[in-house]
């Protein structure tokens, strides 16, 4: 305990220098942790959008359908498959979809669009698009052929509620057909890339356009447990061997790789900052040792062992780090809590064009805080080794004579 008290007093002998190091550790750690929380919050928002708005947990298709959205590749027994899925205790909801990639035309513009035929009541259970309606309604209209477009599509094509718009597509026999729709709802998902290419109509109207009475190109499945999507998808794949059953991680291009990369982002960014701080601490402690050459030599001359000298320098370094680290973590926690609720508006940034939401809510789990704390502790021990070894290299006789 005496050695601990000496080390504690030593760090306050030069208060300015100690405060500079402690401040550097606090601010560096805050910047690293908050930056990581920002990125994780952005990733979490992206995952929620992908699952709840775009994908659902699992999708089932005829093999090769997703390559070109060929309408002739549909499940003729979709209703039977859906009934079987609903009977599974792990499944919360199921929605059948008919999809066509065709041409959308208005008086202003012609372009490509993915038209998704849905049963609105079923779709509400696997997707939150109905919550994103900003104008009109979600198929509550009595119009004969209602269509729900994104706000971006409505602006690009110059249409509004009750406007007429034409969709050109190939039916199941490969014949070109045109269908006129009335705009009844306009949504805004917050993902411009998704909004630009997706519109919704009723399932029976898409079936009529394809020239079929039953079936689905796609079956979306919502599970009770988000974390079990891959395991349950594998189970369903074995059951429906002639179909393609994919969890959301495999449905979104690059999503799996992106998540794995972001999982290690926290440790990379914090590690880089800690390495920079390590050199700062090493420099500070080395200066402290060189300023106290005579003092350390005197202590060694009167009997303090090299082991105790080594421990004293280690304690001093760890003390400064352990003062700065909690302050930095506390600042990080306050910032993450505040912006995690208020959000950070990035509507003017380029993130939206990459498919991320316009508002980011920083997020960091408890495990990450613990891991960062351990990283800081290891860094402080590493930073103390060289100055401590430098102190051990001093010879008491020479050190006492040092001016």
Mean pLDDT over 137-161 rounds to: 92
Confidence of residue 234 (pLDDT cuts 50, 70, 90): very high
Question: Which residues, in sequence order, are CB contacts of 122 under 8 Å at separation 6+?
Answer: 93, 94, 95, 96
Tell me the H-state helices in 252-305. Answer: 255-263, 265-291, 293-301
Higher pLDDT, 168 or 306: 168
Mean pLDDT over 216-222 rounds to: 95
Q: Rounded CA gap, 322 and 324, in Å? A: 6
Q: Rounded CA gap, 372 and 8, in Å? A: 24
Q: Rounded CA gap, 348 and 345, in Å? A: 8
117, β-bridge pairs: 98, 201
Question: Which residues, in sequence order, are CB contacts of 299 under 8 Å at separation 6+?
Answer: 309
How confident is the model at residue 381, as a pLDDT?
A: 80
Q: State pLDDT tens for residues 383-397.
A: 888 888 877 777 776
How confident is the model at residue 226, as a pLDDT?
A: 81
Pairing of the two strands 244-247 and 58-61: antiparallel
How confident is the model at residue 275, as a pLDDT?
A: 83
How confident is the model at residue 260, as a pLDDT?
A: 72
Exposure b/e, 109-137, CB count within 10 A at least 16 = b: eeeebbbbbbbbebbbebbbbbebbeebe
How confident is the model at residue 401, as a pLDDT?
A: 66
User: Which of 221-230, 249-258, 299-308 has maximum average pLDDT?
Assistant: 221-230
Per the prediction, the chain carries an average pLDDT of 85
How confident is the model at residue 289, as a pLDDT?
A: 78
How confident is the model at residue 364, as a pLDDT?
A: 83
How confident is the model at residue 374, as a pLDDT?
A: 80
pTM beyond cutoff 0.95: no
Asked which of 183-192, 216-225, 346-355 is least confident by mean pLDDT, the reply is 346-355
Domain ranges for the chain, please list them.
2-50+259-400, 63-242
Higher pLDDT, 347 or 22: 22
Confidence of residue 349 (pLDDT cuts 50, 70, 90): low
Q: Rounded CA gap, 96 and 215, in Å? A: 8
């Amino acid at each position: 305990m005496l050695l601990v008290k000496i080390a504690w007093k030593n760090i306050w002998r030069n208060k300015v220098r100690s405060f500079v190091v402690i401040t550097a550790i606090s601010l560096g750690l805050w910047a690293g942790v908050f930056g990581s929380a920002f990125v994780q919050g952005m990733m979490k928002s992206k995952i929620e959008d992908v699952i709840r708005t775009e994908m659902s947990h699992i999708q089932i298709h005829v093999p090769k359908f997703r390559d070109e959205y060929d309408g002739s590749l549909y499940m003729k027994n979709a209703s039977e498959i859906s009934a079987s899925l609903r009977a599974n205790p792990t499944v919360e909801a199921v929605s059948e979809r008919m999809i066509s990639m065709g041409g959308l035309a208005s008086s202003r513009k012609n372009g490509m669009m993915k038209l998704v035929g849905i049963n609105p009541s079923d779709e509400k259970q696997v997707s939150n698009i109905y919550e994103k309606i900003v104008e009109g309604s979600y198929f509550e209209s009595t119009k004969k052929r209602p269509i729900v477009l994104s706000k971006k599509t409505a602006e690009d094509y110059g249409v509004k509620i009750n406007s007429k718009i034409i969709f050109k597509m190939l039916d199941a026999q490969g014949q070109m057909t045109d269908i006129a729709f009335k705009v009844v709802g306009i949504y805004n998902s917050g993902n411009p890339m998704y909004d630009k290419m997706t519109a919704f109509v009723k399932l029976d109207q898409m079936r009529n356009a394809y020239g079929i009475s039953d079936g689905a190109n796609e079956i979306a499945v919502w599970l009770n447990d988000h974390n079990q999507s891959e395991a349950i998808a594998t189970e369903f794949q074995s059951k429906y061997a002639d179909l393609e059953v994919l969890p959301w991680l495999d449905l979104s291009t690059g999503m799996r790789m992106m998540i794995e990369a972001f999982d290690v982002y926290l440790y990379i960014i914090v590690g880089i900052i800690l390495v920079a701080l390590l050199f700062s601490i090493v420099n500070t402690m080395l200066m402290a040792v060189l300023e106290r050459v005579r003092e350390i030599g005197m202590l060694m001359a009167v009997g303090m062992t090299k082991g105790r000298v080594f421990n004293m320098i280690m304690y001093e370094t760890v003390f400064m780090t352990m003062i700065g680290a909690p302050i930095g973590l506390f600042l990080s926690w306050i910032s993450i809590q505040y912006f995690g609720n208020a959000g950070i508006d990035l509507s003017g940034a380029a993130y939206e064009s990459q498919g991320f939401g316009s508002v980011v809510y920083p997020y960091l789990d408890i495990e990450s805080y613990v891991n960062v704390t351990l990283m800081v502790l290891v860094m402080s021990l590493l930073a103390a080794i060289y100055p401590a070894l430098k102190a051990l290299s001093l010879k008491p006789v020479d050190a006492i004579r040092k001016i």
